[in-house]
Structure 1
Amino acid sequence: MSSAAAAVSAKPANSRSRVLLASLVGTTIEFYDFYVYATAAVLVFPHLFFPTGNETTALLSSFAVFGAAMVARPLGAVFFGHLGDRMGRKTTLVAALLTMGIATFLIGLLPTYAVAGWLAPALLVILRLAQGFALGGEWSGAALVATENAPQGKRALFGTFPQLGAPIGFIIANGLFLIIAALLPSDDPSRPSLAFLDWGWRIPFLFSAVMVIIGLWVRLNLVESNAFEKTVKTGQVRKVPLVTAFQNNFRELVLGTFYMLATYVLFYLMTTFSLSYGRAAIDAAVPGLGYDYTTFVLMMIIGVVFFGIFTLVSGPWADRFGRRKTLIWVTLAIALFGLCWVPMLAEGLVGVMAWLIIGFTLMGLTFGPMGALLPELFPANVRYTGSGISYNVSSILGAALAPFVAVALWSAGDGSPFWVGVYLTAMAVITLIALLLGRETRDIDIEE
C-alpha cells in the first residue's frame, strides 16, 4: 500500500471545474444510455423483440427486461465498489463508463426477433444486464468524486452535479429520438414508422460511442481525492470492503436503501410509465391520454427542465437546512402528489402539463441531496461500496418494479391512474419513516 500512497500523494489536487465536469459528464453519458433503452422499451422493443400479438403483454415483457438491469445494478455496485474502495475512484469510474458504453453500442447492432428468433431477446437481456451492472458502479463513484472534492459547506451543492446527469441525459436521449422520429415520420401516431423500426432506432445506441470517448477524456484527467489518499496512507483500505460495510454499517445500508425508494419510484413513473400512459389511445383496451409521441415527449422535456433546475436548487437548501430536514418535507410533498393524480389528469392539457412539471420538480428536489447524503452515511474506506449498494438495491425495490407495477395497476384500473398514484404515496410513506429514523449528516468529516 505504501507505493500506492506515494503515487497518489505526488499528484496535484483536482480543480473545482474538473471535479464538476467529471462528475457531470460521466453520469450524463450513463443516464443517456439508460434513457435510450427506456425510450426504446416503449417505442420499439415490444414490436421488434417481443411480438406476442398482445400489446399489453409485449409492453410488460419489454419492461421486464428493462427491470432486469435493476437486478444487475447491486452486483455492479459490489464489484465496482470493491475496486473503488481498494484501487481508487478514477480507475473504477473509467471501467464502469466503458462497460456501459460498449453494451449500449452493441444493442444498436442486435438482430431482431424476425431475424434471429429467441436469440434476439436473449442477447438484449444480456446487454441490458451489462448496462445495469455498469450503472451500479457509475453513480456512487461520480457522487464520491463530487463530494470528496467539495469545499467546506458545499458538499450538497457539489453533490447535485452528478445528479444533473439524469435530466441532461434524458433531454439528449429523447431529443435525439424526436429528431429521428421527425425525419422518419409515421402515418400512425401510435406506432413508429417502418423506417424507424427498421434502422432509425439504432442511431441513438450507436451514438453512445461518441459520448463515451468524450467522457473517457474527461475522467482520465482526474486524480484521486484526499479522502482516498488518507485511507491508503493510514492503512485503512479493507481487503473485502463489502464485508466491512455489512459488519460496521448495516444500519446505514438499510436506511440508505429506503431513503432512495420514493425517489426511484417517482423517477421511473414520471419517465418510463408516463410515456406509455401518455401515448396510449383514449379508446384503447387500456385507455391512456391519447397524445402522439412527439407532443408528449416535448411535454416531458419541459418537465425535465424543471427537474434539472430544482436538482440544483436542492443543493444549497440541503447545505443550509440539512439533508434530512429537506428530504422529509419533499417526501411529504411526494406522498401528497400521488393522491392528486386523478384530479390533475382530469383537467386536460393544462392538468397533464402541471402533473409533469410538479412530478419532475419534486424529482429534482428529492434526487439532488442524495448525491451528498448517501456517501456521507459511510466512512471513506467503504464509501464507494456502501453508497453504491444502498443506491442500487433501492433500484430493485423501486425502479425495477415501478414500471411493471404501474402498468399492472393501470390495466387493473381500466385505464385509471388512481392506484398508480396511491402506489407512489405508499412508497413515499416508507421513505419518510426511514428519514425519521435516520440522522443528519451535513456536518460529518468526509475524510474520516
Structure 2
Amino acid sequence: MSTLSDEPKGVPRTTLSRVAIASCAGTTIEFYDFFIYGTAAALVFPKVFFPALGAAAGTVASLATLGVAFVARPVGAVVCGHFGDRLGRKNTLVATLLLMGVATIVIGLLPPASVIGAAGPILLTVLRFLQGFAVGGEWAGATLLAAENAPPGKRGLYAVFPQLGPAFGFALASGTFLVVDLAVGPGSPAFLSYGWRIPFVASAVLVLIGLYVRLAVTETAEFREHQAKLRASGTQGANTLPLRAVFRAQWREVLLGGGVLTILFALFYVATAYLTSFGTSRSGVGLSRASVLGLGIAASAALAITTVAAGLLSDRFGRRRTILFAYVLTVPAVVVLFAWLTGRSGIAFAVTLTAMMGLYGIAYGPVGAYLPELFQTAYRYTGAGIAYNLGGILGGAIAPLVAAALAASHGVLAVGVLLGVLGAVSLLSTVALRSRAAHEHSPAASPKLEHTP
C-alpha cells in the first residue's frame, strides 16, 4: 500500500488551481449549510417546529436536533470513506455536496408544525441527520483532493484551502442572517414566516457553483497511482474493507487523531454556539444580535488568516511542531480569556471570540495535511475521516453542552477550565502520535514521507 509522498506527480498548474478552488468551495458550502441550521435552531425552530412544547422546552428540543448531526458525522465518515477509498475521492465529494445541498434546501421549504403537525419536527430531525452525514464524509475527501494533488513541499499550503471552509462558511452564514436580521427583524412575523428560510433556499446557488467546480477536477494523482498498482498486481477489487483495514493496522492513529482534533472542535463550537448565546443573553454580555453576528464575521477573518499562516508554516517547520505550538498557547490562554469574560465586558467578549478562532486556526491549518499523512492510501479517506469526526463528537457535540451546564453551576470561568483540560488532552495526543509516525514531515529533511504501520 502506498503512502502520501512528496514525490512530483506531474499535475498541471491549472489543475492544481481547480483542485484548490474545488476543495475550498465545497467545504465552504458544506459548513455554511451546517451553520445556518444552528442559527435558525436558536432563533426560530422552537416557535416554528416545536410550538406545542412551550418556549423553554421548545428551545431545548430545537437545540437537541443540533446533536443529531454529530451522531451522523461518524456514520458519514465510514460510508463515504468506504466509497472514497474504493471508487475515488472526486465522485464521493460530488455526492456529499449534493446531499448537503438538497437537505438544506428542503429544510428551507419545510412547512411548519402548525400545517403538518408532528411530521414537521420528525422531518427536520431526519434532514439534520443527512446534513451531518454529508459533512462527515466531506472533510476527509476535500483534504485528500488537495493534499494528494499538492506539488512537492507545498502540501501544507494546498491542504489549507479546504480548511478555510469553516471560516468562510461561518462568515457567510453570519452575514446572511445579519442581512435578514436588519431587513425584517429577528422577532417579526415576516422573519418567522419566511425570513429565516432565505439563507436555506439561497444555498441552492452555492451548491450549483460548487458542483460545477468539482465536476471540472480530475481524480487525485495519488489515488490513480494506487489504483494502477492494484490493477497491475491483479488485486483490484480484492482489497480488505477500508474500515476493517484501518482499525486492524492503524487503530492507534484513529484514536489519537481524534484526540488531536478534540480541542479544535471544542474551541470552534463553544465560540460559535455557547458564546453567541452568552453574548446576546441578558445574563451574559447583553449585546444585540446584530453586534454578535458582526463580531462573528470579524472572528472568521482572524480564523482565515491564522489558518493560512499556519498551513504555510507547517511546510517549513512541520505539521506536528505547528500544532504543538498552538496547543501550548491554547491551554493557558483559554483560562485567562474566560477569567476576563467573567466581567461581562463587550470588549472581553470580542477579544475572547476572536482569540479562540485564531487559536483554532493555528492548529486547524496544518491538520488538513497532518491527518492524511498518518494513513495508507488504501484506507486514507476512511481513517482520516473517522479520526476527524471522533474529535467532533468529543469536542463539538459534548463540550458545548457541558460548557452551558458548567457556566450555569460554576460561572463562565469553568468553561475556560474545561477548554484548558481538553487542550491538554489534544496536546498529549499530539505528543503520543510521534511514536506512531516514522518521522515528522519536513521538506528539507526528507523528500518522501514513509509510514511505519
Counterpart in the other structure of 1:3: none
Using the alignment, how far apart are the partners of 1:182 and 1:446 within structure 2?
51
Residues 347 and 181 (structure 1 numbering): CA distance in 2 closer, same or farther, change over 3 Å? closer
Q: How many residues align?
A: 428
Residues 298 and 13 (structure 1 numbering): CA distance in 2 closer, same or farther, change over 3 Å? closer
Counterpart in the other structure of 2:426: 431
Counterpart in the other structure of 1:217: 212
Cα distance, 1:411 vs. partner? 2.5
Unaligned runs of 5+ in 1: 1-8, 187-191, 282-286
Counterpart in the other structure of 1:363: 360
Instruction: Tell me the amino acid that sits aligned with residue 336 of structure 1.
Output: P
SS at match of 2:185: coil
Counterpart in the other structure of 2:308: 312
Using the alignment, how far apart are the partners of 2:248 and 2:144 within structure 1?
22
Residues 291 and 251 (structure 1 numbering): CA distance in 2 closer, same or farther, change over 3 Å? same
Between stretches 243-252 and 319-328, larger displacement belongs to 319-328
Q: Deviations over 1:365-395 (max 9, x none)?
A: 1211111111111011111111011111221
Q: Does 1:301 align with 2:297?
A: yes
SS at match of 1:177: helix
Q: Does 1:208 align with 2:209?
A: no
Using the alignment, how far apart are the partners of 2:52 and 2:398 within structure 1?
21
Do the aligned residues in 1 keep the contact of 2:341 with 2:412 (CA within 8 Å)? Answer: no
Cα distance, 1:53 vs. partner? 6.0
RMSD: 2.1
Do the aligned residues in 1 keep the contact of 2:375 with 2:383 (CA within 8 Å)? Answer: yes
Instruction: Tell me the amino acid that sits aligned with residue 124 of structure 1.
Output: L
Counterpart in the other structure of 1:33: 33
1:24-423 alignment runs, 5 A limit: 24-51=24-51, 55-185=55-185, 192-235=187-230, 238-281=239-282, 287-340=283-336, 341-346=338-343, 348-413=345-410, 416-423=411-418
Q: Deviations over 1:139-177 (max 9, x none)?
A: 111000111111111111111110101111111111111
Residues 418 and 46 (structure 1 numbering): CA distance in 2 closer, same or farther, change over 3 Å? farther
Cα distance, 1:88 vs. partner? 0.7
Cα distance, 1:46 vs. partner? 2.5
SS at match of 1:30: helix
Using the alignment, how far apart are the partners of 1:385 and 1:342 within structure 2?
40
Do the aligned residues in 1 keep the contact of 2:285 with 2:344 (CA within 8 Å)? Answer: no
Instruction: Tell me the amino acid that sits aligned with residue 310 of structure 1.
Output: T
Residues 114 and 337 (structure 1 numbering): CA distance in 2 closer, same or farther, change over 3 Å? farther
Instruction: Tell me the amino acid that sits aligned with residue 330 of structure 2.
Output: I
Residues 22 and 313 (structure 1 numbering): CA distance in 2 closer, same or farther, change over 3 Å? same
Do the aligned residues in 1 keep the contact of 2:284 with 2:344 (CA within 8 Å)? Answer: no
Using the alignment, how far apart are the partners of 1:112 and 1:267 within structure 2?
30
Unaligned runs of 5+ in 2: 1-8
Counterpart in the other structure of 1:23: 23
Cα distance, 1:181 vs. partner? 1.0
Cα distance, 1:397 vs. partner? 1.3
Structure 1 runs of 4+ with >6 Å offset: 11-14
Instruction: Tell me the amino acid that sits aligned with residue 436 of structure 1.
Output: V
Using the alignment, how far apart are the partners of 1:346 and 1:132 within structure 2?
36
Using the alignment, how far apart are the partners of 1:322 and 1:447 within structure 2?
15
Instruction: Tell me the amino acid that sits aligned with residue 71 of structure 2.
Output: V
Cα distance, 1:347 vs. partner? 6.5
Instruction: Tell me the amino acid that sits aligned with residue 426 of structure 2.
Output: T
Identical-pair percentage: 43
